[in-house]
Every structure is written in C-alpha cells, then in structure tokens.
Amino acid sequence: MTQHPLAFGAMQCGGRADAAQSMAMFDACYAAGIRHFDTAWIYTDGASETLVGQFAKAHDIQIATKIGYTGGAGRANLAAQFDTSRRRLGCDHIDLLYLHRFDPDTALQETLEVFADWQSRGLIARIGLSNFAAWAVMKAQGVAAALGTRIDAIQPMYSLVKRQAEVELLPMAADQGITAYTYSPLGGGLLSGKYAAGGAGRLTEDSRYAARYSQGAMAAAAEGLARLAAEMGTHPATLAVAWAKCHPARPVPLISARNTEQLAPSLAAADYLMTAETYARMAALYPAPPPATDRTEEA
C-alpha cells in the first residue's frame, strides 16, 4: 500500500464528532487517498475504535491503534486492552500497534516480549511507540533487536508551535528508518485561525489543551500564520499541515476534525507545494528549540 503524505487521527470520532460525522470524514479521507487510520483503546470510551472497525469492513485501510495509556505496560494490562481493541475493531490482525506512552515502572523487556510474541503469531504487523523520548525509543530498539524485531513507528506531537520533536526524535526516526506519524499538526486547532475569529473547540473546552497552548508566543505565531495565509490566498490549516509534513525527516501528520468542513483545509495540504521560502517564513513565526548539545555557537 503506497504511503500517503497524510494519515487520519480518529481521536474525536464517537465524541466531538458523532458517528455520522466520523463516517463522512472517513469517506472524505479515503476518497483523497488516505489509507492509514489511527485510533486508540482509550479514545472516546471505545467508540473511536468501533467506528474505525466498521469502516474497515468495507474499505482496504491500515489500522493503527494504541494500548497502555492507562494501567501500565505490563503483560496482563496490555493483553486485556489488546483483546478489547481487536473486539471493537472487529479484526484479529492490527497493522500497527503502539504502546501509548512510556511506563517507567515496567521494563521494556517485558513489554516488548509481549509485542514480539503477538507479531510472531501474526496478530500485529508493526510495532510503534507513542509519546516516547528519543533515548527511550533507542533503548526499546535495542531490546527489540535482541528479540528479532524492531520499532517501526513513533507518534510524537509536532506542529509549528510544538517543535521539540525536531531536536532528536525526527532525526532519530530518519536515521533508524522509523516512520514518524505526528499528531496535532494544527496545535489543537490554534493554527486553524478559528480561535482568533472567536470560535470554540478543544482549546476552550479542554483544560489540558488550554494549558498546552497557553503561551503568548503561540498565539502570536497563529496570528502571523493567518496573515501569511491571507497573503497567499490559502487556509492557515493547509499551511500548518503542509509545513509539518515538509520536515526533512518526512513525518506523516495525523489530521483530524469534527466534520468534513473542518477537515477540508487539512486534506488540501496533501497536494500543497511548499516552497523553501514559505517554509522558512513559517518557521520564523515560532522559535526553534535549542539543539541537543550545548555547542550552540556551532549550530
């Protein structure tokens, strides 16, 4: 299956996006050529996985899901959640299974033995890690290699106003041949321009998102992006997603929305031709993180 430059993130499906809206977005993505659909055990109390599974019955798609966000990364919890995910999705085989976040209380050896066993039995094709630091991914890569497998994908946050992944995660992914499926390319909707226009969404309804994107420099970057988009005659969301996918490591942004109208500008980023000048102008809107070493004078 050819890799599309974008993937769809179903975090809001079955929640902020009801079943009909979710299916309409799935259809729009599929029509646009997207075949990678991402969900998780924890999303919308299982409704997201159920909806993705229903769509998969009639469409040839790759399903990625995630387990272990709650309850830890031990064998028993992972097995219970994986069984639930497969039941909701209506399939025995998962294309990509992530550990949803790092668990400092469980050895990676134990966790990856579970994943490697499922892979050897044909229950999963690829192994992923979500919300991991680069050092932890490389530690896991060593453990996986000893088990005869590898880490195939990571899922970090990445947008114009959340650029930490540029320091180590994205270069590491490029070096290791790991696909980076990056989430929140619109900064929780901040970069869509809707909040400047008085719109509502996760930043006004979810305290976690409000805190995550509360810095004044982020709002200033969003305003600058809106001005640039107006100058160029395009939508700020299109520019934001296109910018995220154009990093040299070629991450695959996970786009999402509440409905097809919201989704359309993000979908348009797949075909947007980002010039080096526009990329640089956008990058200048928000400070890049410092390099991984202290030799900043050589950066």
What distance in Å separates the CA atoms of residue 53 and residue 4, rounded to the nearest whole number? 20
Q: Which helix (H) or strand (E) holds 219?
A: helix 216-232
Q: For residue 5, give its domain range.
A: 1-155
Question: How many angstroms separate the CA atoms of 13 and 258, rounded?
Answer: 8
pLDDT along the chain (299 residues), means of 10: 87 97 98 98 98 98 98 98 98 97 98 98 98 98 98 98 98 98 96 78 82 92 97 98 97 97 98 97 96 77
Other beta carbons less than 10 A from residue 28's beta carbon: 18
Which residue from 28, 55, 88, 78 is spatially nearest to 255, judged by alpha carbons?
Answer: 28
Q: What is the pLDDT of residue 198?
A: 67
Residue 172 lies in a domain: no
Annotated catalytic residues are 43
- Nearest to residue 165, comparing CAs of 251, 269, 294? 251
Q: Is 27 inside a domain boundary?
A: yes
pLDDT, tens only, 163-214: 999 999 999 999 999 999 999 999 999 999 887 766 777 787 888 888 889 8
User: What is the spatial distance between Cα 7 and Cα 4, in angstroms, rounded to a whole number?
Assistant: 7
Structural domains counted in the chain: 1
Burial class (CB in 10 A: 0-12, 13-18, 19+), 224: middle
In a domain, 14, yes or no: yes
Provide the CB-side half-sphere exposure for 166 (13 A, CA): 18
Is residue 62 situated within a structural domain? yes
100 domain-assigned = yes
What confidence score (pLDDT) does residue 101 get?
Answer: 98
Total-model pTM: 0.95
Which residues make Cβ contacts (< 8 Å) with residue 12, sequence separation at least 6? Answer: 22, 44, 48, 256, 257, 258
Q: What is the C-alpha to C-alpha distance for residues 56 and 205, in angstroms, rounded to an integer?
A: 30
With respect to residue 90, please indicate whether it lies within any of the assigned structural domains.
yes
CATH number of the domain enclosing 38: 3.20.20.100
> What is the Cα gyration radius of the chain?
19
Position 222 in a domain: no
Whether residue 183 lies inside any domain: the answer is no
